[in-house]
Chains A and B, each alone.
Chain A
Amino acid sequence: MARTPADLVGANPGPSFEITMDGSPVTALPGQSVAAALWSAGILAWRTTRKAGRPRGVFCGIGQCYDCLAVINGEPNRRACLVPARPGDVITTQEGHGHAGLSV
């Protein structure tokens, strides 16, 4: 029985690289989405809701629910389940609509 998903499909990816989540390093594999990299680091939430400030992360996994919105390299409202991770990406928790810094 396979111990990991990578074992199951015989994955042999290129060298892993680092991104950061709220300043902490997270290891990503080439080809993984930002959300997949965060999941493999055990991080399930990277957004707080506008009204109750509750944590959220991936729900639908296919770009339909918009629960996984994150601030990626300073840009808010990116769907982390769709955006591929790139070396050096800076991911930060999206608070509310992600535009608080713009005072709009």
Chain B
Amino acid sequence: MPASASDPYDLAVIGAGSAGLAGAVTAAELGLSVALLDASSQTGGQFYRHPAPSLKAARPEALHHDWAAFAELRRRLEQSDVSHLYGHHVWAVAKEDNGLWALHAVTGVDGTAERSVRVRARTVLLATGAYERQLPFPGWTLPGVVGAGGAQAMLKSGLVLPGRRVVVAGSGPLLLAVASSLAAAGAQVPAVIEASGYLGYARRPRALAANPQKLVEAAVHGAALLRHRVRLRTRSAVTEVHGTDRVEAVTVTRLDRDWRPVRGAGRRIECDALAVGHGLAPQIELATTLGCATRPLADGTSALALDGLQETSVPGLWAAGETGGVGGAQLARAEGELAGLASAARLYGYHVREGRVRELQRRRDRLRAFADAMTVAHAPGPGWTGWLTDDTDVCRCEEVSAGSIREAIADLGARDARTVKLLTRAGMGWCQGRMCGTAVACLAAREGAVESSAERRPFAVPVPLSVLASLDEPAGIEPDTAPGVDR
């Protein structure tokens, strides 16, 4: 902790998942004062999301892979001086005139407590993770259609299922994990519907050979699916959901190599829920607002461009985990530790343990290579828009249909997601385009290359006007007992 309440922290970490935890404990063990901010009341992020203590789960690890790694990070956190500021929804990061970083947050379980908090720090580690990427299809707004990661999250934290018979669909390795855990928790999972093939991985033999543990993971999930009699159908997609007020069945259609639906190949599966997702998108708006450089990924999303020690293009701001490209918890831990070491070296000129740094960098590069292969293998094919009907809602918040978006493009001359947004309101609602951004960008690109939609949102979470109004009133900010924090 800083010596006095007016001192800034040496390092502020945003996000208490694998990357943030690893960064925070590494820096704290080197003597840095560290604040760890997270919206949730528990550590673990989305991957290690687990039941609230009062649900008294004796075996939380039954829903997890590699729980021991999280338990170890949690133990180190408990033994450290890290200030864990939970229930903090960070809405902006800014550089102040004095050269310090200021993290602005609203507090409460869902950020509506209307208490404004400002945390000052010399350096920042952004470990905000990712959110699920979605592609729309007819019926995807019906109750009972939930994100694949969403179903997993509700299961891990609340011990609930969206239905008794749940189809899992979309693309990416997360689907296998979701299907395994839903089935283990008692749901009947008739099928996993994967839009890609798995042959894509074979084109990157070196990335596969260097990461045998990933193949073991796949085999574990595969065995679980067999045991629960879950059928895996590749090169297929759910192209329609049936039901009036909730899911009653889905239609599964064969896809060609470009994800174009093959006519006449539809098959109906009865179910009461659908868990669907098309991979993950890095959550990077806090960094892009500061002008951090990004790099386009093979699946049309953007990640932060980082140097060999995880620093962004803005000095003093590091990033780790999914913010630099989706790659999983092991990679996130390695990157978090690297960023923690790098920030300590910058602030106090510590002799960075070169052996450890090289080891972490080798591990990171190996896991990144696998992550890149995974991104390529599951990148959406251009033909997916073929399953949209004109009355399919693309933007869930503002209820903007594919027809309106096509009209904006064909008749009104829109060529990018931003213009479509201005003409139709797609992406202007509560979620600020997180659910429809990919789809709108793909539609706007038509035959051309999809322009990677940079995550530019000046407010990372909704902020009450009263909070903004009080920012420049020193009297409105009461000193707090916690060091480095104004409330």
Residues of A within 8 A of B (CB): 1-14, 29-33, 35-37, 39-40, 44-45, 49-52, 54-67, 69, 75, 77-79, 81-84
Name the distance in Å between A89's Cβ and chain B's nearest Cβ. Answer: 13
The 8 closest A-B pairs by CB, nearest first: A36-B158, A31-B52, A61-B150, A10-B58, A66-B430, A31-B54, A30-B54, A45-B143
Bound form: Cα–Cα A37–B158 in Å: 8
Complex interface residues of chain B between 175 and 202 (CB less than 8 A to chain A): 184-186
Beta-carbon contacts of B130-157 to A below 8 Å, as 1s and 0s? 0110000000010111110111111101
Question: How many B residues have CB within 8 A of the partner chain?
Answer: 54
Which of chain A's residues have a CB closer than 8 A to the CB of B150? 58-62
Name the distance in Å between A81's Cβ and chain B's nearest Cβ. Answer: 7
Bound form: Cα–Cα A56–B161 in Å: 16
Which of chain A's residues have a CB closer than 8 A to the CB of B131? 60, 62, 64
Name the distance in Å between A103's Cβ and chain B's nearest Cβ. Answer: 20
Q: Given the known inter-chain contacts A36-B158, A59-B435, please indicate yes or no for A2 contacting B55, CB distance below 8 A.
A: no
In-complex Cβ contact of A10 among B54, B57, B145, B152 (8 A): B57
Which of chain B's residues have a CB closer than 8 A to the CB of A29? 54-55, 159
Which of chain A's residues have a CB closer than 8 A to the CB of B440? none
Bound form: Cα–Cα A77–B155 in Å: 23
Main secondary structure, interface of B, reads loop
In-complex Cβ contact of B55 among A3, A7, A31 (8 A): A31
Which of chain B's residues have a CB closer than 8 A to the CB of A9? 51, 57-60, 62-63, 159
**Additional A-B contact list (11), CB under 8 Å, known A9-B159, A64-B435:** A7-B186, A11-B55, A11-B159, A36-B157, A39-B154, A39-B160, A44-B162, A44-B246, A45-B143, A66-B431, A69-B430
Bound form: Cα–Cα A65–B56 in Å: 28
Bound form: Cα–Cα A83–B430 in Å: 17
Q: Given the known inter-chain contacts A11-B56, A45-B246, please indicate yes or no for A61 contacting B159, CB distance below 8 A.
A: no
Q: Which of the listed residues A11, A14, A61 has the most CB atoms from chain B within 10 Å of its own CB?
A: A61
Name the distance in Å between B48's Cβ and chain A's nearest Cβ. Answer: 13
Can you list 28 A-B pairs, Cβ within 8 angstroms, ordered by A?
A: A1-B186, A2-B62, A4-B159, A5-B63, A5-B155, A5-B186, A8-B59, A9-B59, A14-B54, A14-B56, A29-B54, A31-B51, A32-B160, A35-B158, A39-B154, A40-B158, A51-B399, A54-B141, A56-B141, A60-B147, A61-B151, A65-B430, A67-B397, A81-B153, A82-B109, A83-B109, A84-B52, A84-B109
Please tell me if the beta carbons of A78 and B110 are within 8 angstroms of each other in the complex.
yes
Please tell me if the beta carbons of A65 and B63 are within 8 angstroms of each other in the complex.
no
In-complex Cβ contact of B399 among A11, A49, A75 (8 A): A49
Bound form: Cα–Cα A12–B153 in Å: 20
- With an 8 A cutoff between CB atoms, is B112 at the interface? yes
- With an 8 A cutoff between CB atoms, is B117 at the interface? no
Which of chain B's residues have a CB closer than 8 A to the CB of A10? 57-59, 62
- With an 8 A cutoff between CB atoms, is B33 at the interface? no
Bound form: Cα–Cα A58–B146 in Å: 7
Which of chain B's residues have a CB closer than 8 A to the CB of A62? 46, 131, 149-150, 153
Bound form: Cα–Cα A56–B430 in Å: 14
Which of chain B's residues have a CB closer than 8 A to the CB of A54? 141, 399
Bound form: Cα–Cα A35–B161 in Å: 11
Bound form: Cα–Cα A37–B57 in Å: 17
Which of chain B's residues have a CB closer than 8 A to the CB of A1? 184, 186, 228
Which of chain B's residues have a CB closer than 8 A to the CB of A2? 62, 184-186
Please tell me if the beta carbons of B58 and A11 are within 8 angstroms of each other in the complex.
yes
Please tell me if the beta carbons of A44 and B153 are within 8 angstroms of each other in the complex.
no
- With an 8 A cutoff between CB atoms, is B235 at the interface? no
Please tell me if the beta carbons of A33 and B157 are within 8 angstroms of each other in the complex.
yes
Bound form: Cα–Cα A60–B70 in Å: 23
Please tell me if the beta carbons of A5 and B153 are within 8 angstroms of each other in the complex.
no
Complex interface residues of chain B between 17 and 70 (CB less than 8 A to chain A): 39, 46, 51-60, 62-63
Bound form: Cα–Cα A33–B112 in Å: 16
Q: Given the known inter-chain contacts A56-B143, A66-B429, please indicate yes or no for A5 contacting B161, CB distance below 8 A.
A: yes
Please tell me if the beta carbons of A36 and B246 are within 8 angstroms of each other in the complex.
no
Bound form: Cα–Cα A23–B39 in Å: 31
Please tell me if the beta carbons of A44 and B158 are within 8 angstroms of each other in the complex.
no
Which of chain A's residues have a CB closer than 8 A to the CB of B155? 5
Nearest A residue to B57, CB-CB: A9
Complex interface residues of chain B between 426 and 471 (CB less than 8 A to chain A): 429-431, 434-435
Which of chain B's residues have a CB closer than 8 A to the CB of A32? 52, 55, 158-160
Please tell me if the beta carbons of A5 and B160 are within 8 angstroms of each other in the complex.
yes
In-complex Cβ contact of B147 among A4, A61, A75 (8 A): A61
In-complex Cβ contact of B154 among A35, A51, A67, A79 (8 A): A35
In-complex Cβ contact of A44 among B56, B144, B228 (8 A): B144
In-complex Cβ contact of A8 among B63, B149, B153 (8 A): B63
Please tell me if the beta carbons of B399 and A13 are within 8 angstroms of each other in the complex.
no
Which of chain B's residues have a CB closer than 8 A to the CB of A31? 51-55, 158
- With an 8 A cutoff between CB atoms, is B97 at the interface? no
In-complex Cβ contact of B39 among A14, A55, A59, A63 (8 A): A63
Please tell me if the beta carbons of B147 and A8 are within 8 angstroms of each other in the complex.
no
Please tell me if the beta carbons of B396 and A67 are within 8 angstroms of each other in the complex.
yes
Q: Given the known inter-chain contacts A1-B184, A8-B184, please indicate yes or no for A60 contacting B397, CB distance below 8 A.
A: no
Please tell me if the beta carbons of A12 and B245 are within 8 angstroms of each other in the complex.
no
Which of chain A's residues have a CB closer than 8 A to the CB of B144? 44
Name the distance in Å between A66's Cβ and chain B's nearest Cβ. Answer: 3
